[in-house]
Structure 1
């Protein structure tokens, strides 16, 4: 485990096992300011955490205000008295903690009532069903307005806020109640990292102090710190559980290089020199108009390699925040939940959780790569080249959601370009489709290919991830790409922290292609991205080595773990992620592992709002809620984890109930 991050003088903060922070200030041992009784209480707290390891509390004892003769005779007696409960078998509630490899750089705490609650920022279900809440001054929103916008955006991006999506009359959650409480927002930095990452802890007023529980919820994709609210919020906050969210080193923090502005803890844009800025990148001497650095693509930290560490750090920080609010001997039940990249982060945290912080994991559509499997970068760069060509088949494409004649024409052009470049034997959509099937895409995963191509998802993902893997900055992204916001309005810039996905274009941000040329202008850049995976030059070798650092071990602890995946997931196909991971984990001895697969469910529930999609698809998020309910029941001893299950729900506009979902069968 790397050494703790250094803390600035004049306060020396000693991070000990159990994440207890002890502050030693100049004059602490003098008989001025604090009483011996207060110091004795602090020393007792240390020994409670470190039963059996008294040396970790010697620093406190050395500062205890005693004369030298008294210290010589008093020290053995004091240590014996303080550690006697350890010898009799007393256990610490925090014994699962470990020496942290992270430091807290900044934090703030706010209290929110029903009008700005933790679950919906005061919007309620009706507010989530409405359009985005506009700030009074869109070019200069307040912190409260940005928070409300971020929470609304998270809900509309991940959920279907109506009965057919499990929310509203007859659904799994008939209402989203206002949950008042506190939010602690913090910037943490992992040992060895250049930049901090965000953690946000929500502690509801209805915190269950008798059976305390904590959810750790890393954001999906590269989303901001509120990105997992729709998954974790309803099952956690309505039960009185606390939640620790994290952007896992990606997120929506950015640096407007042309104006030298970056978001602070609250998302407000701050100028150069402001100590509260969450992300700053070294700017060039004369950045072009709209020059922009995004944290995931440009931090130089390769955050994906450390997603598991980010999750465990969030858990450790949250436990610190809960200590003063819980009875002394409370045992906190901790469950990690995530969707997509957040699900992968939760699984990888479990794999490295040597201290036993986590009690269970629920992973929904994880972007997880086990031994011998193709990672996202491999199949994303392949799909970026060949999936457009496959759409040249008019009969298939026009029957798909978002399928249209423009995509058919573009697809045929791509087929011609690939054939001319020697990348396809003939300009035939069926050949491209066959390549995708051979690579591991199944028919259900290809069913929504028109959406991936229309939204340019593959290029957005591959361009940003290649930059992160090669630790590039905004001026030298691989293959000539750049993220530029030359024409973004002031309102768009002010909202990026709350509304951007954290990767690729959107909201006035463009993905500029420096290699674009010819009738199929995107092809040269996409070929370049693909060659970074299949060639053997130095950059390609470096990129593959970086991707290898993200590969999962599939070595899970003996805790309940549930994976859930949609069979029609065309972004992270189950055949390339969840299924092989489950198989590998079981081969490595995982005994408390279950897998649910859902027919007619895909990666983006918001896609159900596209005309025609709701008639053929069902949302995946309600299965995440049901999975969390199930695992919590397992932890309480009410049910067994059970066997793998496959669900075949029927789509439609009726309320999504447990019966319609097939949960009670």
Structure 2
């Protein structure tokens, strides 16, 4: 923020008044005041643009398709000889499949919903981030598990719940020792402090650490319908700050918060080994365009809890004022949680932007982590297979397979390469016990 540097469209840095991807809209004096109080901080486009960009992701996909047709016709269209080009490549003679993963997958789904000009012929996505409009007219059930009626929560609702309770749940006896890298990424002492802080706030019950951690895990599984299959993977996600980073970024985006607002006393900066903020080396800053995934912590930029007891500190190492304990800055995480519940007493402002991203309808490689590679298979393999199946449907009129659970086989030994036995194909005619069906207003997923 001090230098007012920003990334050009090609990713290089500039402090000049020219076209850039994003620059915080502060005057020189406002920026100087901010930097004097909060030095070495970063403004992040997704979090701090005040544009709530997710609301227009579907539109942006449609615009990219229109641009694609423009470029194709400029290159391959028929020249008329008078400086004009006859448009020969059109949606009527060209197959378009909207396809991506995660945020891109959600963008593709939303684009298909908003496609009034029939630009898109098919959709093939994996793990789409879609916030559906709440429909209480149906329920969901996996196998013989509980009926889930309170579904369709927002991404922010789920991630803030994980940010608050998962740090304690990591110490539950049912997963503590079996979850891959749990002890490496999640120090038990911090987990115990989180459990104690939650208990003191009445957010978990139990007299012992085991009881409190078990209750936190129960809360996530029962109250938020986090499936038990995720329990062993969730600790490594918490250790990598997945839910925490999404909660911080999206709360700012949905609230259209400016960088100087420091929503929930959180900001972005590089930190040292003790958790104190420090300048990001110039070389690392120059590499952010290529090295960052867009949601801190990433590429050397971390989430800093400015309201931590003592001094601004890396969130994971923060001491909460309410507990005077290093409990992963639980006070800040609870603030983000309150925003997801539209009950923040500090800002008094609900996140109107969250409703703007609701959807109307929802039409790989080897992982080297011990304990992960031997339990899980790459979902990306099936994303590519789905893309091929959609192409075959559009091109050759091949029927799409019914919705189903694919019975994969983890390879067990981390040194064993994946084979076709581990990754069976999506079945064109699955057994009845593998089919995902909608019966009597209930989405039924096999165990």
Alignment TM-score, normalising by the size of structure 1: 0.52
Q: How does 1:324-335 map to 2 (within 5 A)?
A: 324-328=74-78, 329-330=88-89, 331-335=93-97
More relative contact order in 1 or in 2 (CA 8 Å, sep 6+)? Answer: 2
Instruction: Give the alignment partner of residue 101 of structure 2, picking from 330, 333, 339.
Output: 339
Instruction: Give the alignment partner of residue 315 of structure 1, picking from 54, 65, 81.
Output: 65
Provide, for residues 324-371 of structure 1, a one-character-per-residue CA deviation record: whole Å limited to 9, x for no partner: 223553322111101111111000000010111101111101111222
**Which has the higher Rg, Structure 1 or Structure 2?**
1
Instruction: Give the alignment partner of residue 220 of structure 2, picking from 431, 436, 443.
Output: 436
Q: Are 1:348 and 2:110 matched, yes or no?
A: yes
Q: Are 1:493 and 2:252 matched, yes or no?
A: no
Find the counterpart in structure 2 of residue 282 from structure 1.
25
CA distance in 1, matches of 2:5, 2:171: 44
Q: Are 1:450 and 2:227 matched, yes or no?
A: no
Provide, for residues 131-167 of structure 1, a one-character-per-residue CA deviation record: whole Å limited to 9, x for no partner: xxxxxxxxxxxxxxxxxxxxxxxxxxxxxxxxxxxxx
Q: How does 1:236-635 map to 2 (within 5 A)?
A: 257-273=1-17, 275-283=18-26, 284-286=30-32, 287-288=34-35, 289-328=39-78, 329-330=88-89, 331-372=93-134, 373-394=152-173, 396-404=175-183, 406-426=186-206, 428-438=212-222, 439-485=224-270, 486-516=278-308, 517=320, 518-519=324-325, 520-536=327-343, 542-554=349-361, 581=362, 585=363, 608-635=367-394
Instruction: Tell me the CA shift for residue 638 of structure 1.
Output: 4.8
Which segments of 5 or more consecutive residues in structure 1 lack a partner in the other structure? 1-256, 555-580, 586-604
CA distance in 1, matches of 2:56, 2:345: 23
Instruction: Tell me the CA shift for residue 615 of structure 1.
Output: 1.0
CA distance in 2, matches of 1:375, 1:540: 20
CA distance in 1, matches of 2:183, 2:173: 8
Evaluate the alpha carbon distance shift between residue 489 and residue 614 of structure 1 in structure 2; reply closer, same or farther with a 3 A threshold: same
CA distance in 2, matches of 1:461, 1:606: 24
Find the counterpart in structure 1 of residue 311 from structure 2.
none
Instruction: Tell me the CA shift for residue 655 of structure 1.
Output: 4.8
Per the alignment, in what secondary structure is the counterpart of residue 259 of structure 2? coil
Provide, for residues 416-442 of structure 1, a one-character-per-residue CA deviation record: whole Å limited to 9, x for no partner: 111111222335111111111121101
8 A contact 1:390–1:429 mirrored in 2: yes
CA distance in 1, matches of 2:279, 2:101: 33
Count how many residue pairs are aligned between Structure 1 and Structure 2.
Answer: 360
Provide, for residues 530-556 of structure 1, a one-character-per-residue CA deviation record: whole Å limited to 9, x for no partner: 1112254588885443211111100xx
Instruction: Tell me the CA shift for residue 388 of structure 1.
Output: 1.1
Evaluate the alpha carbon distance shift between residue 606 and residue 416 of structure 1 in structure 2; reply closer, same or farther with a 3 A threshold: farther
Alignment TM-score, normalising by the size of structure 2: 0.75
Per the alignment, in what secondary structure is the counterpart of residue 649 of structure 1? coil
Evaluate the alpha carbon distance shift between residue 664 and residue 503 of structure 1 in structure 2; reply closer, same or farther with a 3 A threshold: closer
Per the alignment, in what secondary structure is the counterpart of residue 524 of structure 1? helix
8 A contact 1:470–1:539 mirrored in 2: no
8 A contact 1:496–1:507 mirrored in 2: yes
Find the counterpart in structure 1 of residue 433 from structure 2.
none
